[in-house]
Amino acid sequence: MTDTPSPTHTPFPDLPGLLATQRAACRAEPMPSEARRREWLGALQRFLHDHRGALCEAIARDYGHRSHHETLLTEVMPALKEVEHALSHLRAWMKPRRRGVDRIAFGLARNEVIPQPLGVVGVIVPWNFPVNLSFGPLAVILAAGNRAMVKMSENSRALAALLVKEMPAYLPTDVLAFVDETGGVGPAFSQLPFNHLLFTGSAPTGRAVMASAARNLCPVTLELGGRSPALVCPDFDLRLAAERILYTKCLNAGQICTTVDHVFVPRDRVQDFVAMAREIVPARYASLESRDYTSIISPTAWRRLVDALDEAQASGATVIPLLPGAARDEAGHRLAPHVVVDAPADCALMQREIFGPILPVIGYDAIDTVVDTINASPHPLAFYPFTHDQRLLQSLLERVMSGGVSVNDALFHVAQSELPFGGVGESGMGHYHGPEGFATFSKLRPVFHQARWATTGLLAPPYGRRVEQLIEFIMPRRKRT
């Protein structure tokens, strides 16, 4: 294990210089071989194994406290899984794909699609899962043959110092360069003329990033979050739903873009859900000081959550802390998990993504009302229906649009390497993970191969009866629908 370097004042990074270096490397090796890409992915794999302890320590320092087990489970292991998946499928992903050809019009011609690298990809990483959300995308970015520049968050200074210091021993900066946020780096980074830009973060910042990228006609993939709801249907076991929802809500102290933001429960079962929550959470975390429970990332974020709780309570909501003893620790910016019942519709908890360990519980009488309520808001990044009724489930999937879905659980669709991950509408655009990620960071280049003898020569001027007959022969026929 390498000692975690301390974040110190560093000069503003030479972003144009780094980009120029990587562009030159792309020109020198425009189509990296499979062996080269395996070498790059292997380097990511070795780095994660060699520095797993240092990564856990750095992230814990950035948070104030975070369990090493939680970092291994939610960051290091998923990142290694993405790299492993890319290595397993790389050869198949890289193969040219044969496409059909209209034999009547083009005879013996041939079509194919060749996946080729885009060039240099920029990645802007949030603080909540900084290893997962940098190395996960890097698995498919490098598998696709690109170079990458990765800008870390201002809340990930210890981790950024480690990455900037140690990664060049595994991959040179003309392949992969990590950039620390020293102040003002983010806007300058998003204005660079990348070949593709991936941003994970809030919707307001995403709009600014997209506007900056638009000046360079740089395509973007945006992962923006949103108020992801869970819906417990009457047929589903309430205790099991509570256990699964609260596991997700307490993980990383709720600081997950795909966590359950709020839950809809049959109105006559709301108090049962609250009682179960008061049993489930203390069985997992004995108190606010539990070493398994994560701090809120910063005093500013802690204050925002506390103010939202106080506002809801002052407006008539019932606010219930779920741990014995103190519920707030301002010095350590820790906040106990809470459920909130009868939160007013116009309070902060019900108007914006919570991004913390607070779970509004909303009673409902009819599922159609829940669907209307969800659809009245921007599309969420995730939707979590709990039901064994397949007809009801199909109806919910058709009527409620979201970026992704986990059925009878929460969060775990994100952990599936074969499923694309991405939002829709205000929760984001574009996908990565697995084959969709490889496609996102590739130019799927269409190539038409003309045959030695081509029918198109028969269609050249001067036009006359012969050409008219050929056109009629080639023209698609009207078909019954």
Contacts of 248 (CB under 8 A, 6+ apart): 256, 259, 260, 410, 411
Catalytic residue among 57, 75, 82, 223: 223
The two tokens of residue 315 are 């407006």
Question: Taking CA 10 as the corner, what is the angle to CA 65 and CA 46, rounded to the nearest 5 degrees?
Answer: 60
* CA-to-CA separations, 310 to 303, 349, 353, in angstroms, rounded: 10, 10, 16
According to DSSP, the residues that pair with 361 across neighbouring strands are 263, 341
DSSP structure string for 39-86: HHHHHHHHHHHHTHHHHHHHHHHHHS---HHHHIIIIIHHHHHHHHHH
Rounded to an integer, what distance in angstroms lies between the CA atom of residue 189 and that of residue 155?
A: 17
CA 221/CA 124 separation, integer angstroms: 10
**Sequence letter at residue 153:** S
Measured distance CA(379)–CA(427) in Å, rounded: 6
One-character DSSP codes across 381-448: SEEEEE-S-HHHHHHHHHHS--SEE-SSSSSGGGG-TTS-B---GGGEE--BSHHHHHHHTEEEEEEE
Q: What are phi and psi of 339, to 5 degrees?
A: -110, 150
**What is 240-278 written as a DSSP string?**
HHHHHHHHHHHGGGG--TTS--EEEEEGGGHHHHHHHHH
What are the residues whose beta carbons fall under 8 Å from the beta carbon of 294, sequence distance 6 or more?
63, 65, 66, 67, 70, 252, 253, 255
Known active-site residue 426: no
- Catalytic, out of 233, 250, 257, 347: 257
Closest CA to 110 of 480, 446, 479: 446
How far is Cα 226 from Cα 208, in angstroms, rounded to an integer?
17
170 Cβ contact list (under 8 Å, min separation 6)? 43, 44, 46, 47
**Are the C-beta atoms of 378 and 426 separated by less than 8 Å?**
yes
Cβ burial of 247 (10 Å; 0-12, 13-18, 19+) is middle
Count CB neighbours of 112 within 10 A: 15
How many other CB atoms sit within 10 Å of the CB of residue 59?
A: 25
Is 233 assigned a catalytic role?
no
Identify the residue whose tokens are 């709009």: 207
Query: Which positions are catalytic?
Result: 223, 257
